A and B are shown apart, each in its own frame.
Chain A
């Protein structure tokens, strides 16, 4: 742990075994001063909204009180807002609590959760497989390696909002997708085509990023391991499965973790490409889209929903880190991991 303040005189051992002295060590106050601005900013832009969201989520939305017909300011709601989403309970005009009618946002919670996780699972699986293949190719030596890496960055550099508009055009009824496939599919309007369009656009945009992260992992594998395996007569496939895969796994896991969290908060792409619609009108509504739709109707239930979303994403991150052992909070003081030990 880096938390322990070492005696300033104790030299630290650097990864190479060379002496690495913290010339500033023992100056906890100075460090605190340097760190303070970041902590303050994060507390204001993230800490405060989070606490505030939880507080808001425990209040009633202001509006007409169904029993008296008077405008009321809300008041304490307890866990009502959470019950509303999790059990899809709505209060009808006569004050009776019951199942939310279809069309009410409350009725969409579990569907949106399902869609969000479905998108995350499918896109990240495809991106991992395709990204791994791209990284293996990019790791070979050939003329124009730099150009390829630049080309790969292009989808990443295009703003998601523009990407969504671009694919909206490609998937237009008269668009190039239908022309090339000789089909007449309503890509952004029908349930499964809409989902497919979103998945394809997302895979196009983010696979390159994944490939670069994996490539960084691949390049830490020393070449002589492959030479040795070749001498021992290992086939290309054997070299891939017993050298590349195990050694690239740590980098791969971090990349997967980042992508999963990104995919679970997906908003821009479905919001612009299909408007969250498709088929029944909400076939591509992710949790983020649902929160934004709800904000326009009432802050407090929206806060409850955003808190649920946050907790879901946090749980997934926690589980992924536990299960895969992805070391994301890596300590700068620890020796860098050698590819082979």
Chain B
């Protein structure tokens, strides 16, 4: 969990003259930052640009307007962006809560208990995380058509859980494993039942980990597209699908600036979340994929 935080940075040796090592380092840093942020910056600049200047190439905002955001929320062209935002929040919240509830217990058992078939359970969870969504979408499509679930919220939440659950189990297992054993032990000595020890000692300690996992799960659900594009209706459509199908005032005309405004709205909360919780997200991500 703390691998990334404690990693000792290499020291530089400076002995006068130009320090080529740090020139190379900072050069690299600039390249990486520009590479990562330039397209995102371009999206934001375009989002604030008057639609008549869509293809303006000035690298800073020109003809600034908020009209594009109004257009994004405008329902007269058949777009329902506000509803889609609400849908994504609702689907993401349900997926996260269920994934966390189910995943926490499994992660605790995997990290802190001895039992038969542990490696098999781990293998199943890992296998599930590598699963191609396209392999389950056909039967789900048919099943949901038969039981009239097409376009319902549960038809979107249930498949999402299959992506989120392996992630929560893996991330939480590594967090639980790194927790001190003594606290739980002494709680048990003091007469706590295993359930009480878990509730009173482990859970409070795990709150930050649960929070990190919740962010990761929510982002994963927020990003889902394949299943939602097939199983949602106009009413339950999440934002990813809504943005992909954004219609302009004229048919066959791509409303670029409105799409960029919508993209900005969808992305900025996530980016803020990522900036604020950067450390924990990184440790959660690497814990989920690299164990060692």
- Please, how many angstroms separate the alpha-carbon atoms of A337 and B290 in the complex? 11
Interface: A144 (CB within 8 A) = yes
Instruction: State the Cβ distance, A182 to closest chain B Cβ, in Å.
Output: 11
Interface membership of chain A positions 293-316, coded 1 if the CB is closer than 8 angstroms to chain B and 0 otherwise: 001000100110011011001000
Task: Kindly supply a per-residue 1/0 record for chain B positions 222-262, scoring 1 wherever the CB is within 8 Å of any chain A CB and 0 otherwise.
Answer: 11011001100000000111011010000000101001100
The answer to whether B134 touches A170 (Cβ under 8 A) is no
Residue from A46, A151, A307 in contact with B36 in the complex, judged by beta carbons closer than 8 Å? A151
A38/B102 contact (C-beta < 8 A), A219-B3, A220-B3, A332-B173 known? yes
Report the minimal beta-carbon distance from B279 to chain A, rounded to whole angstroms: 7
Q: Which A residues from 314 to 341 make CB contacts under 8 A with B?
A: 317, 327-333, 336-337
**CB 8 Å contact bits of B131-173 with A (1 = contact, 0 = none):** 1111111111111000000000000001101100100010001
B14 at the interface (CB under 8 A from A): no
Number of contact residues on A: which range applies?
35 or more
Quick check: which of A50-58, A94-102, A121-129, A277-285 contacts chain B, the rest being far away?
A50-58
Report whether A254 and B290 are in contact in the complex, using a CB–CB cutoff of 8 Å. Answer: yes
A78 interfacial by beta-carbon distance below 8 Å:
no
B11 within 8 Å of A by Cβ? yes
Contact status of A295 and B138, CB under 8 A, knowing A148-B29, A226-B10:
yes
Please pick, from A137, A153, A219, A261, the residue contacting B278 in the complex, using a CB distance under 8 A: A153
Of the stretches A26-34, A82-90, A189-197, the one at the interface is: A26-34
Of the candidate stretches B60-68, B72-80, B106-114, B205-213, the one touching chain A is B106-114
Q: A46-B131, A137-B29, A162-B240 are in contact. Are A336 and B292 (CB under 8 A)?
A: yes
* Residue from the list B25, B123, B135, B259 in contact with A140, Cβ < 8 A: B25
CB pair B292 A303 closer than 8 Å: no
Residue A250 CB within 8 A of the other chain? yes
Q: Type the 1/0 row for A21-54, where 1 means its CB is closer than 8 Å to any CB of B.
A: 1111111101110110111011011101110110
CA separation between A317 and B39, bound complex, in Å?
A: 32
Alpha-carbon separation in the docked complex, A38 to B109 (Å): 11
**A residues in contact with B256, CB < 8 Å:** 169, 172
Of the candidates B35, B57, B101, the one having the most CB atoms from chain A within 10 angstroms of its own CB is B35
Q: Smallest CB-CB separation from A56: which chain B residue?
A: B139
Contact, CB under 8 Å: B40 / A154: yes
Beta-carbon contact of B134 and A292 below 8 Å? yes
B217 at the interface (CB under 8 A from A): no
Q: Does A20 contact B (CB under 8 A)?
A: yes
Q: Shortest beta-carbon distance, A185 to chain B, in Å? A: 15
Partner of B230, one of A46, A50, A295, A306: A295
A13 and B235 CA atoms in complex are apart in Å by 56
Query: Does A184 reach chain B (CB closer than 8 Å)?
Result: no
B 35-78 to A, binary, CB cutoff 8 A, 1 in contact else 0: 11101101100100000001101000000000000000000000
The smallest beta-carbon distance between A298 and chain B, in angstroms, is 10
- Is B141's CB under 8 angstroms from A170's CB? no
Q: Is the CB of A332 within 8 A of B113?
A: no
State the B residues within 8 Å of A (CB): 3-4, 6-12, 22, 25-26, 28-29, 32-33, 35-37, 39-40, 42-43, 46, 54-55, 57, 101-103, 105-106, 108-126, 128, 130-143, 158-159, 161-162, 165, 169, 173-174, 177, 181, 184-185, 188, 194, 219, 222-223, 225-226, 229-230, 239-241, 243-244, 246, 254, 256, 259-260, 263, 266-267, 270-271, 273-275, 278-279, 281-282, 285-286, 289-292
